[in-house]
Amino acid sequence: GQQVMQIPQYQHVQEGEDFTTYCNSSTTLSNIQWYKQRPGGHPVFLIQLVKSGEVKKQKRLTFQFGEAKKNSSLHITATQTTDVGTYFCAIPRSNDYKLSFGAGTTVTVRA
């Protein structure tokens, strides 16, 4: 079945710096979703990307879907302590509605 790899698993960032987390699939995706889970919390939907090469921004967060629709990235600029948490990408499995989650990138911020 479709699986998605997320890298890096952990990201330690100095406050104010930028970072990027990546999500890679071996197969072409119909769409990809991103979620954020704060420590002790539950996943919260951030965005869905559908089109090849699509770029969407939410304030300091920039989401991109690759041209081949096999990978995606989340770039955060000027990291703040509020960005702490685990970022998951999630992909639909072919021919059904199940969402499969990656292992996540856990972000910590040094003040």
Partner 1 sequence: DAGVTQSPTHLIKTRGQQVTLRCSPKSGHDTVSWYQQALGQGPQFIFQYYEEEERQRGNFPDRFSGHQFPNYSSELNVNALLLGDSALYLCASSLITGSGIGYTFGSGTRLTVV
Q: Which of 22, 35, 63, 65 binds partner 1 (CB under 8 A)?
A: 35
Q: Are 25 and 38 in contact (CB under 8 A)?
A: no
Q: Least distance (Å) from partner 1 to the CB of residue 17?
A: 24
Q: Is 85 in the site for partner 1 (CB under 8 A)?
A: no
Q: Least distance (Å) from partner 1 to the CB of residue 36?
A: 11
Q: Is 44 in the site for partner 1 (CB under 8 A)?
A: yes
Q: Is 99 in the site for partner 1 (CB under 8 A)?
A: yes
Q: In this structure, which long-range contacts are made by residues 33-36, counting pairs with CB atoms below 8 Å and at least 24 apart in sequence?
A: 33/89, 33/90, 33/91, 33/99, 34/63, 34/72, 34/74, 34/87, 34/88, 34/89, 34/90, 35/87, 35/88, 35/89, 35/90, 35/101, 36/85, 36/86, 36/87, 36/88
Q: Is 42 in the site for partner 1 (CB under 8 A)?
A: yes
Nearest residue (CB) to partner 1, 19 versus 35: 35
Give the binding site for partner 1 (CB under 8 A).
Answer: 31, 33, 35, 41-48, 50, 88, 90, 96-104
